[in-house]
């Protein structure tokens, strides 16, 4: 299956194939919902998406793995990753230092991705080294542009559009933001353990929530009524972002729509799961059930196969 995807994508160099395979393995291991959705893409599209995911995950791991590295050491490692990426872009030589770089650079060149998007992504990653709180929605949006919206923008050339790309771009960016906002709500416990809060402080304060309240909730594995009210508001805001993203699906190439539709359905479903567990985000991790994921994937697969059949007929 892996070989057939790489063959379909025209990737024949042995070292480059190994780089793509590494990215695919990273996606399969860490991005279960996203990986399932990528199975609905045409085979020739999948390696590029895996490459983008693999690189993003590589940067995330520098920042988020629980280990003994200091902030300075993480900063050095992130800078090393950035330098290696842009050196690889300029010199167009294989990199032996990081197996994800060759695939992501090959993808960027093949689809003519704007290098500035990678720079913007890494700028937001650097923020995670020192920024632990966001005073308001505007500050959080600045972070999310680089950490989430650019991912949607990078995906667009791979997915293809039936309208000018700039028309679909705001919706693609919104979907990336919606996915990340969902993560911020679901992973509030894990993020707080790392010392970070990714929900706007002023919006939390409007419900009487501050770090002390969050710390109490984490320690007691309970969601008190103040935090519950704040999370109700955060879910409503996030659903608004999903609604702004949804019209973009019809702007994509037909072969790509089932994948993105499934991803939106599954990821937005996490919000429903948070409601179902009565916002007990410190007691358990809200996930979409395997049967639900398989049902959504089955519907998406049927649509994807029909889209590919129509494309072959044309």
Q: For residue 223, what pLDDT is reported? A: 97
Asked which of 99, 130, 161 is the last residue of a domain, the reply is 130
User: Is 139 a domain residue?
Assistant: no
Residue 112 shares a structural domain with residue 160: no
Residue 295 shares a structural domain with residue 169: yes
Residue 230 shares a structural domain with residue 309: yes
Question: What CATH code is carried by the domain that includes residue 240?
Answer: 1.10.600.10
How many other β-carbons are positioned within 10 Å of the β-carbon of residue 82?
Answer: 18
Asked which of 66, 100, 130 is the last residue of a domain, the reply is 130
Taking 70 as the pLDDT cut, the residues of the chain under it are 1, 92-97, 289-294, 296-314
Q: For residue 90, what pLDDT is reported? A: 77
pLDDT in tens, 216-250: 999 999 999 999 999 999 999 999 999 999 999 99
Q: Directed axis angle between helix 115-130 and helix 46-64, to 10°?
A: 20
What pairs with residue 161 in β-bridges?
A: 252
User: Is 135 a domain residue?
Assistant: no
Residue 204 shares a structural domain with residue 287: yes
Residue 275 shares a structural domain with residue 157: yes
pLDDT in tens, 162-190: 999 999 999 999 999 999 999 999 999 99
Closest-CA residue to 40 (of 255, 232, 235, 216)? 255
Please report how many Cα atoms fall inside a 13 Å half-sphere around the Cα of residue 159, on the Cβ side: 32
Residue-number span of the structural domain to which 83 is assigned: 1-130
User: Is 146 a domain residue?
Assistant: no
User: Is 97 a domain residue?
Assistant: yes
Q: For residue 313, what pLDDT is reported? A: 45
Give the Å distances, CA to CA, from 255 to 28, 39, 161.
21, 12, 10
Residue 170 shares a structural domain with residue 276: yes
Alpha-carbon distance of 267 to 126, in angstroms, equals 26
Residue 122 shares a structural domain with residue 158: no
Determine if the pTM surpasses 0.95. Answer: no
Q: For residue 314, what pLDDT is reported? A: 44
């Amino acid at each position: 299956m892996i070989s057939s995807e790489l063959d379909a994508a025209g990737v024949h160099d042995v070292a480059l194939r190994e780089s793509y395979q590494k990215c695919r393995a990273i996606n399969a291991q860490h991005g279960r919902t996203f990986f399932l959705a990528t199975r609905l893409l045409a085979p020739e599209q999948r390696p590029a998406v895996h490459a983008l995911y693999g690189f993003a995950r590589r940067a995330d791991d520098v920042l988020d793995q629980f280990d003994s590295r200091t902030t300075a050491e993480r900063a050095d490692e992130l800078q090393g990753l950035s330098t290696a990426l842009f050196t690889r872009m300029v010199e167009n030589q294989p990199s032996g230092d990081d197996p994800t770089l060759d695939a992501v650079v090959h993808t960027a060149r093949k689809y003519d991705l704007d290098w500035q998007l990678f720079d913007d992504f890494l700028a937001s990653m650097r923020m995670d080294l020192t920024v632990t709180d966001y005073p308001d929605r505007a500050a959080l949006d600045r972070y999310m542009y680089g950490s989430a919206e650019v991912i949607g923008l990078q995906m667009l050339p791979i997915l293809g559009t039936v309208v000018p790309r700039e028309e679909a771009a705001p919706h693609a960016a919104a979907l990336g933001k919606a996915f990340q906002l969902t993560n911020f709500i679901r992973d509030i416990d894990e993020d707080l353990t790392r010392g970070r809060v990714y929900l706007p402080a002023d919006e939390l304060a409007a419900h009487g929530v501050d770090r002390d309240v969050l710390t109490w909730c984490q320690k007691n594995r309970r969601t008190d009524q103040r935090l519950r009210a704040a999370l109700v508001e955060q879910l409503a805001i996030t659903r608004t972002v999903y609604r702004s993203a949804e019209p973009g699906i019809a702007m994509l190439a037909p072969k790509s729509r089932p994948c993105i539709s499934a991803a939106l359905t599954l990821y937005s479903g996490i919000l429903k799961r948070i409601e179902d567990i009565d916002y007990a985000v410190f007691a358990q991790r809200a996930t979409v059930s395997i049967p639900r994921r398989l049902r959504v994937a089955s519907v998406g697969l049927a649509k994807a196969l029909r889209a590919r059949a129509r494309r072959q007929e044309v």
